[in-house]
Amino acid sequence: MSQQLESYQDEIYLTGLTGAVPELPTGLHQLEEAAQAVMAPRAFDYVAGAAGSGETARENLLAFRRWRIVPRMLTDVSTPSYSARLLGTDLNVPFLLAPIGVLRIVHPDGEPAVARAAAAAGVPMILSTAASTAMEDVAAASGDGQRWYQLYWPKDRAVAASMLGRAAAAGYRVLVVTLDTRTLAWRPRDLDHGYLPFLEGVGIQNYLSDPAFQAGQVTSVADDPQTAILRFTQIFGDLSLTWEDIPFLQEHWHGPIVLKGILSVADAQRAAQAGVAGIVVSNHGGRQVDGAIAALDALPAIAQAVGSKLAVLFDSGVRGGADMVKALALGAQAVLVGRPYVYGLALGGQAGVRHVLRALRHDFEVTMRLAGLARLSELGPDCLQRRP
């Protein structure tokens, strides 16, 4: 694993001597605006949009603003190391790519472009069940890159088991099971376009390519895509799932299991009792329960309660290195980056994702150094102050 720090900043300044400037914004919070200028309106709204009033999505960002880093001086940061090992996965820096479906709606190169960029940067990718490219093809693009698989747990157990078997065979090492999407939220920005990509057959490639899914079809997927799409809508979510169903996952997946979408201490404790390896504290980027608690506000108590028993990951609102520092200081062992890499993909395909990964890594590493922190183990709540 590379211990070298990212040198993107030097590269940009040196290239700047020739008059060249970066093609994409280096301020990651500016990516959304830049992406909007190049994306089809309905694709942009699908990515940027949220549930209901959008209040939770906004609150995710505001929650970070309520915490301030307290930099320390005269500490030796000459040989820092911010690498970590999490559930058997090596992290150069403690972030992974969040599972995001239907990436071909933002760029024709879709998930394979993200997989190539992530593998080259040494950043693990979590592939969504709702990918617009079959998981085996994404694995091929990822090569020897580290990859995890995210399951939307379908109602049809044969399809669920089949997907898990395929993911293991294709080299996905950790299973992330997303619990917060029992069904789709009321999302006005998609509703106003009358747009759901799945109904156009985008984002269901893992289903269409699945032998158990195909076996349940009277007509072949190729001959009768509309019937296949209809069946996808019928099996997508299982509203009857409870904690009692977790053993099904453990029976069909032999690596670490991480539950995504945990926002309460009670559920985090339940996850620990259920014997899973980790959780992602997340509200799905504000896309599910409108009015839900900001994910960052949920993090400290959850990390305090289960951090010694479970890997605690975090997402929803990470937009730069300082946000990463704050989430890690509040108890996350790693964060997932979501919308920013999708905007990078929209703006520049694989190169755009590479830019976002490099910028985020450099921003994180330099923020750590300037805050006087040479190791991840030095992060803790005492590195932050809550804004009055």
The distance in angstroms from the start CA to the end CA of the chain is 41
- In the complex with ligand FMN, the residue whose CB is nearer, 28 or 303, is 28
Contact 121, 361 (CB under 8 A): yes
Q: Could you give the 3-state DSSP secondary structure of residue 365?
A: helix
* Contacting range for ligand FMN; rule: CB under 6 A; set: 137-145, 155-163, 212-220, 314-322: 314-322
* Contacting range for ligand FMN; rule: CB under 6 A; set: 218-226, 283-291, 343-351, 354-362: 283-291
The candidate with the shortest Cα–Cα distance to 51, out of 290, 246, 359, 307, is 290
For ligand FMN, what does the binding mask look like between residues 221 and 260, x meaning CB under 6 A? ---------------------------------------x
Give residue for tokens 């949009």: 49
Q: Rounded to a whole number, what is the largest CA-CA distance in the chain? A: 70
DSSP run (H or E) holding 176: strand 175-178
Whether 29 is catalytic: no
> Rounded to the nearest 5 degrees, what angle is found at the Cα of 180, between the Cα atoms of 252 and 245?
35
Query: DSSP labels for 122-148?
Result: T--EEEETT-SS-HHHHHHHHTTS-EE
Cα(88)–Cα(85) distance, rounded to whole angstroms?
A: 6
* Contact flag: residue 316 with ligand FMN (CB under 6 A): yes
C-beta of 63: minimal distance to ligand FMN in Å? Answer: 11
Contact 303, 269 (CB under 8 A): no
> Rounded to the nearest 5 degrees, what angle is found at the Cα of 372, between the Cα atoms of 27 and 300?
75
Cα(210)–Cα(302) distance, rounded to whole angstroms?
A: 36
C-beta of 377: minimal distance to ligand FMN in Å? Answer: 25
* Contact flag: residue 290 with ligand FMN (CB under 6 A): no
Contact 12, 23 (CB under 8 A): no
Considering only residues 47, 86, 328, 329, which one is a binding residue for ligand FMN as defined by CB under 6 A?
A: 47
* Contact flag: residue 100 with ligand FMN (CB under 6 A): yes
Query: DSSP labels for 311-355?
Result: EEEE-S---SHHHHHHHHHTT-SEEEE-HHHHHHHHHHHHHHHHH
* Contact flag: residue 367 with ligand FMN (CB under 6 A): no
C-beta of 12: minimal distance to ligand FMN in Å? Answer: 24
Considering only residues 132, 133, 146, 150, which one is a binding residue for ligand FMN as defined by CB under 6 A?
A: 150
Considering only residues 32, 315, 363, 365, which one is a binding residue for ligand FMN as defined by CB under 6 A?
A: 315
Among residues 29, 107, 252, 284, which one is catalytic?
284
Provide the CB-side half-sphere exposure for 184 (13 A, CA). 17
* Contacting range for ligand FMN; rule: CB under 6 A; set: 107-115, 234-242, 244-252, 280-288: 280-288
Considering only residues 124, 321, 338, 349, which one is a binding residue for ligand FMN as defined by CB under 6 A?
A: 338
C-beta of 138: minimal distance to ligand FMN in Å? Answer: 13
- In the complex with ligand FMN, the residue whose CB is nearer, 5 or 317, is 317
Contact 248, 274 (CB under 8 A): no
User: Based on the number of CB atoms within 10 Å of its own CB, is 242 exposed (0-12), middle (13-18) or buried (19 or more)?
Assistant: exposed
Give residue for tokens 């895509």: 225
* Contact flag: residue 162 with ligand FMN (CB under 6 A): no
- In the complex with ligand FMN, the residue whose CB is nearer, 5 or 133, is 133
* Contact flag: residue 154 with ligand FMN (CB under 6 A): no
Considering only residues 93, 130, 185, 345, which one is a binding residue for ligand FMN as defined by CB under 6 A?
A: 130
- In the complex with ligand FMN, the residue whose CB is nearer, 5 or 114, is 114
C-beta of 261: minimal distance to ligand FMN in Å? Answer: 8
Helices (H) and strands (E) in the chain, counts: 16, 12
* Contact flag: residue 284 with ligand FMN (CB under 6 A): yes
Structure-token pair, residue 312: 């605690």
Contact 152, 175 (CB under 8 A): no
Give residue for tokens 């929650």: 63
- In the complex with ligand FMN, the residue whose CB is nearer, 150 or 162, is 150
C-beta of 315: minimal distance to ligand FMN in Å? Answer: 4
* Contact flag: residue 146 with ligand FMN (CB under 6 A): no
Considering only residues 28, 39, 96, 98, which one is a binding residue for ligand FMN as defined by CB under 6 A?
A: 98
What amino acid positions are annotated as catalytic residues? 284
Residues that bind ligand FMN (CB under 6 A): 46-47, 60, 98-101, 128, 130, 150, 178, 260, 282, 284-285, 287, 315-318, 338-339
